[in-house]
């Protein structure tokens, strides 16, 4: 109608640029992601920077994280190495701590022979003692002494008969020490008799509990 007021048609405006900060905008039928927020972008960059610094610090300290399967073995090896360094060798300390103590129960076996010349008769001449065995049963001491005197004139032997339970007799003989080498000559003695150095029984001191 001529008398009615006409309302102008609204103009179409392209609001894509105005809504750029919204969830998205359409241009040439393609959807683009929203523009990044400045604050969130700063947080992400800071996080990445801190993480990179931590990794660099770990590399400087040579810190390695063992895997789950080898963690126990590594701990055992580290513990063994630590114990070997911290705990000293027990056998070495024990050998160092051992102190030789004097044995108060035993007597000294050292033999001292006097060499001083005196006019008083204080000691007898040094003797060499022998064992004479496998002698015929019933042989007397005088018979053995006469035999030695005939073979070694001036020897003045000492002859003692020993207790023997076997089929033969045995004797203990002492002569001058200078005759010990000649006395051990087998051609001097009768056949099948046995002669050797006489060993005295050592008397050990009693150990009181």
What pLDDT does residue 138 have?
Answer: 92
Q: What is the pLDDT of residue 82?
A: 53
Per-residue model confidence (pLDDT) at position 144: 95
- Among residues 61, 195, 41, the alpha carbon closest in space to that of 131 is found at 195
d(CA 134, CA 137): 9
Rg of the Cα atoms in the chain: 59
User: Residue 34: what pLDDT?
Assistant: 54
List the pLDDT tens digit at each of the 209 positions of the chain.
Answer: 444 445 555 444 444 444 444 444 444 444 545 555 556 677 777 878 888 877 777 666 555 555 545 455 555 555 555 555 455 555 555 655 666 777 766 666 676 777 777 666 566 778 999 999 999 999 999 999 999 999 999 888 999 999 988 889 999 999 999 999 999 999 999 999 999 998 877 666 666 65
The CATH number of 127-197 is 3.30.70.3220
**What is the three-class DSSP state of 24?**
coil
- Res 136: pLDDT: 92
Question: Helix (H, G, I), strand (E, B), or coil: what is residue 203?
Answer: coil
Indicate the domain borders of the chain: 127-197
Strand order in the sheet with 127-135: 158-162, 169-176, 127-135, 194-197
Please list the helix, strand and coil fractions of the chain in percent, rounded to the nearest 5, in that order: 35, 15, 55
Report the alpha-carbon distance of residue 33 to residue 24 in Å, rounded: 6
pLDDT of residue 129: 93
Which pLDDT value is given to residue 73?
A: 52
Strand extents, DSSP E, 54-193: 127-135, 158-162, 169-176
Q: Quote the pTM value.
A: 0.42
pLDDT of res. 12: 46
């Amino acid at each position: 109608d001529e008398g009615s007021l006409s309302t102008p048609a609204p103009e179409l405006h392209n609001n894509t640029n105005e809504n750029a900060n919204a969830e998205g905008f359409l241009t040439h039928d393609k959807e683009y992601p929203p523009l990044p927020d400045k604050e969130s972008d700063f947080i992400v960059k800071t996080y990445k920077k801190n993480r990179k610094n931590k990794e660099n610090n770990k590399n400087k300290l040579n810190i390695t994280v063992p895997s789950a399967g080898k963690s126990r073995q590594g701990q055992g090896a580290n513990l063994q190495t630590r114990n070997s360094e911290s705990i000293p060798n027990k056998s070495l300390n024990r050998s160092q701590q051992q102190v030789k103590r004097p044995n108060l129960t035993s007597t000294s076996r050292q033999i001292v022979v006097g060499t001083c010349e005196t006019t008083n008769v204080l000691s007898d001449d040094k003797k060499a003692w022998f064992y004479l065995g496998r002698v015929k049963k019933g042989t007397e001491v005088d018979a053995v002494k006469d035999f030695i005197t005939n073979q070694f004139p001036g020897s003045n032997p000492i002859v003692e008969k020993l207790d023997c339970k076997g089929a033969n007799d045995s004797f203990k003989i002492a002569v001058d020490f200078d005759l010990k080498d000649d006395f051990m000559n087998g051609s001097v003695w009768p056949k099948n008799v046995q002669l050797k150095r006489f060993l005295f029984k050592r008397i050990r001191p009693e150990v009181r509990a």
